[in-house]
Amino acid sequence: MEHEPLDDFERELKLTLERRPAPPSLKRRVIERREQRRHPQTTMIWMRLAAALLIVALLGGGLRWGLQRQEERRQGEAARRQVMIALRITGHALNQVNSRLTAHNRGGE
Amino acid sequence: MANDWEPDLERLLDEHQSMVFSLALRMTGDRGLAEEIAQDVFLELDRQTGKIRSPEHARFWLRQVTMNRSTDALRRRKVRGMDLWVELEDGHAVHAEDRVSPVGTRLENLLATLPEPQRAALILRYQEDMLPDEIAATLDAPVATVKSNLQRGLKLLRAKATSNLREFIRGA
């Protein structure tokens, strides 16, 4: 397939449609954007690492808080048991005192 | 040897930035948008360098992707309800240093009023000096359609020029 000869109008159109020079900044901007596109890849790695560290820190903090609460609950339970034992001993002693007093009162009558 | 050829973005930019920018500018009529499209096209080329086999393939690829991106940009603008060519008519889209002659500017503005497929065919034919079968391959359209668009576009442009430009009355 070959070009057919151009008439005057087509020649004028061809002259009008000559390539325009690209803006002088075009090349620089493309190169800059290419560099920016490459740079975020390392930034992304750091961001992912930071996110992973944050998650680990949150999990560690949560675990520690949970263990602390468990320990506090255990200590509270032990204290409650000790109080119950003390109350039981006291109750037993009072019952004995009460029995003796009752026996003493009966002897007196 | 074409097989030994390796695409180099900076060299391709030097060789083809004018072509890519001019295609985008004439398709969209907007310098800012044309520069944005040109940047995107070259960055896409940089991503696709493994698929580019030869300098001819790079030129073909750049033309094809530029035309596609320009068409997409025009459609996006239509969806947003913006009239691109109002800018051209107002003379904001064409820089003063680009104006070769008042007749040329007027003719370029008339070209901008043609339907998009006819405009695309005429730009590739007269800016890039391409044959209908090459245009068909670039636009991924049948050769018969391209020939029809070229004929109709040229006829319509000639008619518009005849009624708008006295300079062409004698030649028409």
Q: Which residues in chain B touch residue A13, judged by CB atoms under 8 angstroms apart? A: 107, 111, 122, 126, 157
Same domain, yes or no, for B87 and B163? no
Same domain, yes or no, for B82 and B136? no
Same domain, yes or no, for B78 and B124? no
Query: What tens digit of pLDDT does each residue of B68-109 get?
Result: 999 999 988 876 655 555 444 444 445 545 556 777 888 888
Q: Read off the pLDDT of each residue in B161-171 and give the average, rounded to a whole number.
A: 66
Q: Which residues in chain A touch residue B162, judged by CB atoms under 8 angstroms apart? A: none
HEC letters along chain A: CCCCCCCHHHHHHHHHCCCCCCCCHHHHHHHHHHHHHHHHHHHHHHHHHHHHHHHHHHHHHHHHHHHHHHHHHHHHHHHHHHHHHHHHHHHHHHHHHHHHHHHHHHHHC
Place B172 in a pLDDT band, splitting at 50, 70 and 90: very low
Query: What tens digit of pLDDT does each residue of A92-102 get?
Result: 999 999 999 99
Cross-chain residue pair B133–A12, CB shorter than 8 Å: no
- Find the closest chain B residue to A30 by CA distance: B39
B143 CB contacts (<8 Å, ≥6 apart)?
A: B132, B133, B136
Query: What tens digit of pLDDT does each residue of B8-25 get?
Result: 999 999 999 999 999 999
The boundaries of the domain holding residue B37 are 1-94
Q: Read off the pLDDT of each residue in A65-93 and give the average, rounded to a whole number.
A: 95
- Find the closest chain A residue to B106 by CA distance: A16
| Residue to test with chain A: of B9, B31, B39, B103, most A Cβ within 10 A | B39
Q: Among all chains, which residue has been given the structure tokens 């009162």?
A: A105
Q: Which residues of B109-126 are buried (b: 16+ CB within 10 A; e: fewer)?
A: bbbbebeebbbbbbbbbb
Return the pLDDT at A1: 57
Number of domains in chain B: 2
Average pLDDT in chain A:
90
The encoded tokens of residue A104 equal 């003493």
Same domain, yes or no, for B71 and B149? no
Q: Which residues in chain A touch residue B63, judged by CB atoms under 8 angstroms apart? A: none
How many residues in chain A? 109
Same domain, yes or no, for B107 and B78? no
Q: Is the pLDDT of residue B169 over 90?
A: no
Query: What tens digit of pLDDT does each residue of A18-58 get?
Result: 999 999 999 999 999 998 887 767 777 888 999 999 999 99
Last residue of a domain, one of B94, B113, B133: B94
Cross-chain residue pair A15–B20, CB shorter than 8 Å: no
Query: What tens digit of pLDDT does each residue of B129-155 get?
Result: 999 999 999 999 999 999 999 999 999
**Rounded distance, CA A16 to CA B96, Å?**
14
Q: Is the ipTM of this complex over 0.90?
A: no
Last residue of a domain, one of B45, B72, B94: B94
Same domain, yes or no, for B20 and B64? yes
Residue A14 CB neighbour total at 10 angstroms: 14
Q: Which residues in chain A touch residue B18, judged by CB atoms under 8 angstroms apart? A: 19-22
Here the CATH number for the domain that contains residue B63 is: 1.10.1740.10
Chain B: give the shortest CA distance to residue A17, in Å. Answer: 5
Last residue of a domain, one of B60, B78, B94: B94
Here the CATH number for the domain that contains residue B153 is: 1.10.10.10
